[in-house]
Chain A
């Protein structure tokens, strides 16, 4: 699936998007896998209360299932308007 990062999450991880091969069942499982990769991921995901997640471009929770999902995005709380 495609994993996208925005704002300071993108800056900490260093890339805007990447393809990830995973069998993670939920967003939380995917986060756990990413955190084990490298320190920059650990840094970006160290405080999940500071993050929001969208699955297939819909805002959701970290316990959302990932079956059949094409795109997951991580970002800080939004500041539009």
Chain B
């Protein structure tokens, strides 16, 4: 398992190749990437992501370990950025490796659902009209009940 919290961009191609290379016995690799999305009505200048150093790494490690145990994954990767990002930039990625694709897809969804509301990150949107903290969504909390 690898958990990375960093300010600088990551290379999704290189990360995916490195991740996949180590798992000959795994038939399925799923990757998901989150992108900073522009706001159609009020163009986004930047997104600032704050986090809780120490707790962030611990929370991500715990979430990833739970996924590895539950779906018997060969491996899991979580990369999450913080700091100032502009629309189109990659915020985060997860990768899961399993023998068969169903487990890899499900585990990746699980990682994403828990990353949304159980990892200590806070997003702030800076637009032409002002700045505001992104509110958590009830649906993100509801998403956890399926697991």
A contact set with B: CB distance below 8 Å: 4, 6-8, 54, 57-59, 73, 75-81
Contact = CB atoms under 8 A, between A and B. Distances in A.
A81 to B, nearest CB: 4
Contact of A73 (B55, B80, B92, B112): B55
Contacts, number: 68
Contacts of B59: 59
Contact of A8 (B121, B133, B141): B133
Contact of B52 (A8, A73, A79): A73
Given A6-B50, A7-B133, A75-B122, A80 B117 contact: yes
8 contacts: A54-B52, A54-B120, A57-B54, A57-B58, A80-B92, A81-B112, A81-B115, A81-B121
Interface centre among B52, B80, B112, B134 (most CB of A within 10 A): B52
Given A81-B34, A81-B92, A7 B122 contact: yes
The secondary-structure label for the interface of chain B is mixed
A79 B123 contact: yes
Given A6-B50, A6-B122, A79 B58 contact: no
Interface of B: 34, 50, 52, 54-55, 58-59, 80, 91-92, 112, 115-124, 133-136, 141
Contacts of B117: 77-80
A54 B122 CA distance: 15
Contact of B136 (A4, A8, A77): A77
A6 B92 contact: no
B80 to A, nearest CB: 7
B115 A79 contact: no
Q: Enumerate the 5 nearest inter-chain pairs by beta-carbon distance, A residue then B residue, closest first.
A: A77-B136, A80-B121, A57-B55, A7-B122, A81-B116
B120 A76 contact: no
Contacts of A81: 34, 91-92, 112, 115-116, 119, 121
Contacts of A58: 55, 58
Nearest to B49: A80
Contact of A57 (B52, B91, B115, B135): B52
Contact of B121 (A57, A73, A78): A78
